[in-house]
Every structure is written in structure tokens, then in C-alpha cells.
Amino acid sequence: MSPSLHQPKLTQPTAASVTLLDRDHSILAFNERVLNWAYRKDVPLLERLRYLCIVSSNLDEFFEVRAEPHLAAKQRKDERGAFSVESFEKLAEAAHTLVARQYALYNDDLMPTLEAQGIKIISHGDRNPAQRRWVKQYFEREVRPLLLPVGLDPSHPFPQVANKSLNFIVRLGGRDAFGRENEIAIVKVPRVLPRMIRMPDKVSGDSALFVSLSSVIRGHLAELFPGRDVGQFSQFRVTRHSDLAVDEEDVKNLRTALRQGLQHRNFGEAVRLEVSAGCSTHLSDFLLRQFDLPEGALYRVPGPVNLVRLTQLIDLVHAPKLCFPTYRACYPTQLTPGASFFERLKLGDVFIHQPFESFDGVLAFLREAVNDPQVLAIKQTIYRTGTDSELMDLLREAVRRGKEVTVVVELKARFDEEANINWAEMLDSIGAQVLYGVVGLKTHAKMMLVTRREGKQLKRYAHLSTGNYNPRTARLYTDWSHLTADPALTTDVENVFVHLASHSRLPQLNQVLLAPFYLHLELIGKINEAAQVAAAGGVARIVAKMNALTDEALIQALIEAGQKGVKIDLIVRGACMLPAQLPGLTDNIRVRSVIGRFLEHSRVFYFRRDALEELYLSSADWMNRNMMRRVELAWPVTDPVQRQRIVEEDLIAYLHDGVDAWDLLPDGSYARVTAEGRRPAHGAQAALMARYAGHDDARGD
């Protein structure tokens, strides 16, 4: 027998050898990175508090959307796929750890530091007589008339408690007016009441003193139950599963069905219970039974049960030195204020890097289209636009001026359903053509098409974006807007609108990659082509920036490409299931997350195969839902100057960020990046703010 036969057979690593990271734990890890901003001493104090509130808001949505299947597995022992008793317990442990860090920071750092700055939330026990009198007057005038305590008995069952509402549970001694010993009462706190109240100068002196609504009620609970002894009590808050489930195949009017569904959203299945840290076991067990929750779903918090509402305190304090310096976005650098967009776009495409450049450029484009008598039609998609939107007012004015206005409104944009239904009804009522996309798919693509008569021809102009048509979030999210008169690209946009309206077969598109038809396969194809070039000894490079990476087919393709020699950098803000830098498996793949002052939201995909370079902007993250269950766009940037600009500003800058970046480690944890050697630390967002800050001044605006 040959000695070589005794040697172990060497096998090449495969993508199947790689165990992917857990999506839900990756979401919690993202919130750990956001929470880091609340810890950072280089961040202004009130902004640190704001980041703490952002984490709480994110956790609310996490529980509303992601917790139910884990809980179902725990409760019913219904173990399917990734959901099991073990998955619930591991997720609960990670969430409890994150919440404990939040409240430790709140109590031990943020509140004492705020107090040193003369800003304090003053508890009942710390109030002097004058302050107690003021609080009592406030309670009697503003609060008590809206409270209705409910004593529980067979004729008064446990009341319906709305999702994320503030409530009190009270254990009473003695007997009620009828001689009965019903000991439990519930006090529901109306949402119309502010959660933070600033005390007037006459009782707060030189300090900015606040009282929380829960503290006001807590200090006067006994007055709500005359003749009874108030013993144990606690504030509590329940989070409910809030994903709307509507069988689109089985409804005749999606708008009506969703509006009806919204009425019940606040009373879905309970998934989390928050109580005060001092809540007695007797009361917490009672609440757990009422909401049919296991012990792991109980969160005892040493502070307000809803940290999100502390944003009200930030709004009530006028302390510019404790906030970020005001940033004023410049007018888009490729545009001249007051000049015609239609004439400018005949010279070439325009790209706007938001929020460093202002979204006002997009509004100005639509405004000119509305006011131009030669514009005959405007088509637009709406995913999130907010409840008070100049953009929607402009579309309404376009209808009034007799233009053909078609709006594809996504009614199922999570937590924006009601606003979108209201806009759809308004536009429909004044004569706009309102569409709701394709049954079973969310229309997530961001596009606007303007058709204008020019001589004897009709010419199209388009706006495509990685972000939403929401002027408020456009000041807070990083995104790219692309204005174009390119006939190939505008024809593609027209064909997509026709497809959404008529559901006719989609023609071959010139430049746009459309989900759910081509985008997924095209991206995998480009990754595979890079792998082939690398395997043949060529130069292959992939850099992709997105909000989430959870699609397993794309992940497998990236892993295989990396194993064949493709150098891959992924800038993924949130959940990422691809484990980077695993020795022998994913050595060629780096994953970085950047958490900054602005929310990273742009999707940019760069592919290099030897001398060929391609760059795409997109509305889509690399998630299965985006590829298979949404209408999404990706489109190429063909102008070499603008392509290089996007590469430099949105890829290279972030790959060299030494302030706000985190690298994904092989074990799934993240390590914050620090500047190497003696080089000054570089933050991508700060550098871009500085780059664009002087443009308006230079123009004399």
C-alpha cells in the first residue's frame, strides 16, 4: 500500500462549510452599536440621551415584529426551524442584557451628568413643599379628570391594554363600597397626556426641573381610591405583536381591509411585559398570567418603563451646547438655484448626496414640474412620506392644474400604513390615479417620472432614489437621489410604472434591474462572474453598502467568490448573517458597520472584473424579502465622473472610517475601529459634512 494513501485527503472549503450568524441576535448587536453612542463622551449630552431613546424605540419594533415566533415556540413547544425554546431563551437573555445596560447608563451616567448641567427629573420624594403643591395642582387640573381606575371583579374583567401604553397595577387593602375584597385595580394612562412635564421657573429656580407623568400619578394614587389602602403598585407596559396580516388574495379592497386591521393592531398578542424594578412578585405574576407570558418575557426596569418618551425632555430643554451643532445641508452642488431642471438635465445627470446636500433639490424638481404648463403627466411611488408632506401637497396641486397624476402608494409600509391610507384617499378623492402595486408584493422602489411636451415630442425626466420621499427623514438619513433625462433609463421607469398599473408582461429593460424578476439573479450572476475572473488569476473586487444582509443565496455566492480569491468589502449597517474573516473560509471578506450622526441608508453596489467596473444604486437591501417579495430597483451609474464620486464618498470614505465604524469579528461580535498609528481619526460622515458645508457660501446663497 502506498504511503500516500495513509495521508488525510485535503478538501477545499465550501460555502456550505460556513455556519451563518443568527439574524435576530445580529439585530440586537446592531442596537448595541447604537447604544455605544449614548456612552461616548465625545457626543453632546442631550444627543447621548437621544441615542438611548433610539435604542428603546428600535427594541419596541424588534419585539413587535420579530419576537412572536420565538415566543410561540416557548409557549407551545412548537419548534420549527430556527424557532425553539432554546432560541427564545437565548434571545431573551441577549435582550435582557441590552436593557440592563440601557438602564445602568441612564441611572449611573446620563441622569447624574444632566443634573450637573442643571437638568433634572425630580421624583416625588425629592420635591420641596412648593413643588409638591404645583404637581398636585397639575394632577388635579390636567391628569385626574382623564383617569378612570378599574377595580377587577367578575363584572369588571381585566381591561384591554393597548400596545406600549402606560398603565398602573395597584393592590388594594380593605373593602370596596359594596363590602367586597377585590384587591387588584388597573389605571390606564391616556396617550394624550405628555410623559414629561417641565416645572415652571417659580418652583424650579435656576434649574430645568421635570416631572414624569408616571411620577405625578404615582404620588397621587391613593386619591384615586378613597376609602381603600393602596399597598403594592407598579407601572407596567405591554408590547404586542404588531405586524399586520392581511390575506391580499382574499380581499376585494386592500385599503379598506388594512384600515380595519389597523383598528386591532394595538391589541395583538402580547410578547413583552415591562414593570418597575420594585414590582412585587404577586403583581408581576398576576400580569404574566393575564398576558399569557413566560417569565423570560418579563423585564423589570429601574426607571421609566418607556425610555422613548424621554425625547420630550430633549425637546423641552433649550441648551444648544448639549446638542449637535446645527448642520445646514447645501443646495445640490450640480444644480443652480432658480435654473430650470429640464434644461440642466439635457446636459447630463444630477446626483444628490443626502443629507449633506439638501432634499430641497428634489422638491424643487417636482415643484417646477407642477408649475410648468408643458408637463403633462407625473407618476410617483410613495412608500414613506410622513403625515405632513410638501411633496404630497405638490401632487395635489398638480391634479388641480389638470395634469395626469399617477401615484403608486404602498399601503403596507410597516407603521406608516395609516398615513399612506390617508394620502391615498385624499389623492383618490380629487381625481389622481391611485394604485396599490402588485398583490403579494410591497412596492419599495423609489421613482418619479415626469412627461413633458417639447415641440412635437414628449420627453421624459426621472428621479430615482435609494431613500424615501420624506422631507423629514431626508435630513437624517444618508441616501442618493439621481435625476436623469437618459432615454434608456426613463423608458425603463415608464415600463415599470405601466407594469405596476396594468400587470402586463414586463418588456426587456435597458438598464434597470427589477425585483422580484431579475435583481436577485443578476446580483448572483455578477458575484459569480467576479469569482470566475479571480479563479483565472484576474483582478476581482466587490464592495457593497446596504442596511442588511440576510439573503442566504447571496451570502453563499459571496462566500464562494471570496474562497476563489475575490476581495470583498461589505458595509452593512444592521443585521448581517455572513460571518467574516473565518480562517480558511471567509478570509477575503470583511464586514463593516458604520453608526453615525445620520442613519446610514444608501445602497451602493460596486463590481470590478479586471478592467470592467460597474456601480449600481438601489432601493433594495440584500434580504430575501427585498429580492422575492418586493418591487425593487437597482440601476447603473454610467457617468464615470459621478461613479467615481459615489465610490469615493460612499465606499472608500466608509472603508477608512476610524471613528464611527465597527468590524465584524469571526465569532459574530463587533469591534469598534480605531485609527492606526499616529494618523488622526477619520469619520466618514464628519468628513462629508465638512466637504459640503462651504458650497452655499461659495455660491453666495
What does the domain layout of the chain look like in residue ranges?
A: 23-322, 341-509, 515-699
pLDDT of residue 416 exceeding 80: no
pLDDT of residue 373 exceeding 90: yes
> For cell 446610514, what's the residue?
600
Q: How far apart are CA 149 and CA 225, in angstroms?
A: 8
pLDDT level of residue 245 (50, 70, 90 thresholds) = low
To the nearest whole percent, how much of the chain has pLDDT over 90? 73
Give the pLDDT confidence score for residue 9 in this predicted structure.
42
- Tens-digit pLDDT profile for residues 56-112: 999 999 999 888 888 888 776 556 667 788 889 999 999 999 999 999 999 999 999
What is the chain's length? 701
Picking from 217, 160, 213, 153, the residue whose alpha carbon sits closest to that of residue 185 is 153
Give the pLDDT confidence score for residue 257 in this predicted structure.
53
pLDDT of residue 418 exceeding 80: no
pLDDT of residue 159 exceeding 70: yes
Average pLDDT, stretch 150-154? 84
Number of helices (H) and strands (E) in the chain: give both, helices first: 23, 27
Give the pLDDT confidence score for residue 164 in this predicted structure.
93
Average pLDDT, stretch 510-514? 96
To the nearest whole percent, how much of the chain has pLDDT over 70? 90
pLDDT of residue 54 exceeding 60: yes
Give the pLDDT confidence score for residue 623 in this predicted structure.
96
pLDDT of residue 606 exceeding 80: yes
CA dist list (Å): 34 to 55, 68, 600, 611, 658: 7, 24, 12, 39, 16
**Cβ(212)–Cβ(267) below 8 Å:** no
DSSP state string for 438-486: -TT-EE--EEEEEEEEETTEEEEEEEEESS-S-TTGGGTEEEEEEEE--
Picking from 635, 349, 638, the residue whose alpha carbon sits closest to that of residue 512 is 635
Q: Is the dihedral of CA 490, 527, 28, 55 positive or negative?
A: negative
Among the ranges given (229-243, 443-457, 537-551, 653-667), the one the predictor scored with the smallest mean pLDDT: 229-243
Q: Are domains 23-322 and 341-509 of this chain identical in fold?
A: no
pLDDT level of residue 700 (50, 70, 90 thresholds) = very low
**Cβ(168)–Cβ(237) below 8 Å:** no
Domain 341-509 indexed as CATH 3.30.870.10: yes
CATH superfamily of 515-699: Endonuclease Chain A (3.30.870.10)
Q: How far apart are CA 601 and CA 551, in angstroms?
A: 18
pLDDT of residue 156 exceeding 50: yes
Q: Is the dihedral of CA 75, 76, 79, 85 positive or negative?
A: positive
Average pLDDT, stretch 255-278? 75
The three grid cell numbers given for residue 284, joined into one nine-digit string: 408581576
**Cβ(65)–Cβ(245) below 8 Å:** no
DSSP state string for 245-290: ---GGG-S-HHHHHHHHHHHHTTS-EEEEEEETT--HHHHHHHHHH
pLDDT level of residue 679 (50, 70, 90 thresholds) = low
> For cell 403633462, what's the residue?
376
- Tens-digit pLDDT profile for residues 276-327: 999 999 999 999 999 999 999 999 999 999 999 999 999 999 999 999 999 9
Give the pLDDT confidence score for residue 338 in this predicted structure.
93
pLDDT of residue 209 exceeding 50: yes
Q: How far apart are CA 659 and CA 681, in angstroms?
A: 6
pLDDT level of residue 13 (50, 70, 90 thresholds) = low
Q: How far apart are CA 677 and CA 20, in angstroms?
A: 33
Among the ranges given (343-352, 605-614, 619-628, 691-700), the one the predictor scored with the smallest mean pLDDT: 691-700
Which residue numbers are catalytic?
A: 444
The three grid cell numbers given for residue 54, joined into one nine-digit string: 433610539
- Tens-digit pLDDT profile for residues 211-227: 999 999 999 999 999 98
Domain 23-322 indexed as CATH 3.40.640.10: no
Q: pTM score, two decimals?
A: 0.91
Give the pLDDT confidence score for residue 2 in this predicted structure.
37
Query: Strand, helix or coil at 105?
Result: helix
Give the pLDDT confidence score for residue 10 in this predicted structure.
40
- Tens-digit pLDDT profile for residues 472-486: 999 999 999 999 999
The chain-wide mean pLDDT, for the chain, equals: 90
Give the pLDDT confidence score for residue 699 in this predicted structure.
53
Average pLDDT, stretch 161-181? 85
Give the pLDDT confidence score for residue 6 in this predicted structure.
41
Picking from 447, 366, 418, 362, the residue whose alpha carbon sits closest to that of residue 631 is 447
